Structure 1
Amino acid sequence: MDNAAKDLVIVILTGLSGSGKSTALRVFEDLGFFCVDGLPVSLVPKLMNLFDDKGGQRYKGLALGMDVRQADLDTDWGATLAHIKVKDVAPQILFFEADTGEIIRRYATTRRPHPLESDQRGLEQAVLEERERMRPLREAADMVLDTTHFTIHDLRRKLQEKWASIRPTAGTLKVHVMSFGFKYGPPSEADMVFDLRFLPNPYFNKDLREHTGKEAAVRDYVLAEDPGREFIRRLNEFLLYLLPLYAKEGRFRLTLAFGCTGGRHRSVAVAESVFDTLSKAGYNISLEHRHIERG
Structure 2
Amino acid sequence: MDDIRLVIITGMSGAGKTQVIREMEDLGYFCVDNLPPTFIPKFAELCSQSAGRVSKVALVIDTRGREFFDTLIQVLEDMEKQGIMYEMLFLEAADETIIRRYKESRRRHPMAPHGRISEGIARERERLDRVRGRATHIIDTSGLKIAKLKEKIVGLFASEREFERMNITVVSFGFKYGIPLDADMVFDVRFLPNPFYVESLRRKSGAAAEVGEYIWKWPITQQFMEKLGGLVDFLVPNYIKEGKSQLIIAIGCTGGLHRSVFVAGRIYEGLRDKGYKVNLEHRDIKHNDVEEHPGRC
Question: In the alignment, what sits opposite 1:36?
Answer: 32
* Letter paired with 1:51: C
**Structure 2 SS opposite 1:239:** helix
| Structure 1 stretch displaced more, 139-148 or 38-47 | 38-47
**Structure 2 SS opposite 1:32:** coil
* Equivalences for residues 1-295 of structure 1 within 5 A: 5-52=1-48, 56-57=52-53, 61-86=56-81, 88-119=83-114, 121-168=115-162, 170=164, 173-295=166-288
Q: TM-score, normalised by structure 1?
A: 0.88
Q: TM-score, normalised by structure 2?
A: 0.87
- Unaligned segments of structure 1, at least 5 residues: none
Note the alpha carbon deviations across 1:229-286, whole angstroms, 9 max, x for none: 2322221111101222333344444322110111122111211211221223233433
Root-mean-square deviation (CA, aligned residues, Å) is 2.3
Cα distance 1:73–1:270, how it changes in 2: closer, same or farther (>3 A)? farther
Contact kept, 8 Å, 1:40 with 1:72, in 2: the verdict is no
- Unaligned segments of structure 2, at least 5 residues: 289-297
| Structure 1 stretch displaced more, 60-69 or 102-111 | 60-69
CA distance in 2, matches of 1:60, 1:207: 54
CA distance in 2, matches of 1:69, 1:44: 16
Cα distance 1:286–1:108, how it changes in 2: closer, same or farther (>3 A)? farther
Cα distance 1:52–1:291, how it changes in 2: closer, same or farther (>3 A)? farther
**Structure 1 SS opposite 2:133:** helix
**Structure 2 SS opposite 1:167:** helix
**Structure 1 SS opposite 2:287:** coil
CA distance in 1, matches of 2:272, 2:61: 37
Instruction: Give 1:170 deviation, angstroms.
Output: 1.6
Contact kept, 8 Å, 2:4 with 2:48, in 1: the verdict is no
Q: Percent identity?
A: 39
CA distance in 2, matches of 1:293, 1:44: 51
* Letter paired with 2:96: G
CA distance in 1, matches of 2:70, 2:283: 55
**Structure 1 SS opposite 2:168:** strand
Note the alpha carbon deviations across 1:114-143, whole angstroms, 9 max, x for none: 112222x32111111111111111011011
Cα distance 1:229–1:11, how it changes in 2: closer, same or farther (>3 A)? same
**Structure 2 SS opposite 1:198:** coil
Cα distance 1:64–1:217, how it changes in 2: closer, same or farther (>3 A)? farther
Instruction: Give 1:208 deviation, angstroms.
Output: 3.0
